[in-house]
Amino acid sequence: MATKALIIDYSWSGTTAKLATALQRVTGGDRVDLTVAAGTFPNDMYATSDVANRQLATHQLPALTNAVPDIGAYDVLLVGGPVWSGKVSTPVRSFLQQLANFSGIVAPFYTDAGTPGDYEADLASLIPAATVVPGIGLTAGELQGADRQLTRWWQRLAAK
Ligand SMILES: Cc1cc2nc3c(=O)[nH]c(=O)nc-3n(C[C@H](O)[C@H](O)[C@H](O)COP(=O)(O)O)c2cc1C
Q: How far is the CA of 130 from the centre of ligand 1 (A)?
A: 25
Rounded distance between C-alpha atoms, residue 77 and residue 116, angstroms: 21
pLDDT digits (tens, 9 = 90+) for 101-157: 999 999 999 999 999 999 999 999 999 999 999 999 999 999 999 999 999 999 999
The pTM is what? 0.97
pLDDT digits (tens, 9 = 90+) for 34-80: 999 999 999 999 999 999 999 999 999 999 999 988 999 999 999 99
Q: How far is the CA of 27 from the centre of ligand 1 (A)?
A: 25
Find the DSSP H helices in 42-146. 45-57, 90-97, 119-126, 140-143
Find the DSSP H helices in the chain. 15-27, 45-57, 90-97, 119-126, 140-143, 147-158
Domains and CATH numbers, the chain: 5-158 (3.40.50.360)
What three-state secondary structure class fits 55?
helix
Residue 148 Cα distances to 13, 29, 137, 151, angstroms: 24, 17, 14, 5
∠ CA 85-141-115, nearest 5°, is 25
Per the CB < 8 A criterion, the answer to whether 137 and 110 are in contact is yes
Q: How far is the CA of 28 from the centre of ligand 1 (A)?
A: 27
CB distance 12 to ligand 1 below 6 Å: yes
Atom from ligand 1 closest to the CA of residue 45? 31
CB distance 115 to ligand 1 below 6 Å: yes
Nearest CA to ligand 1 atom 8: 85
Per the CB < 8 A criterion, the answer to whether 131 and 106 are in contact is yes
Q: How far is the CA of 88 from the centre of ligand 1 (A)?
A: 10
CB distance 11 to ligand 1 below 6 Å: yes
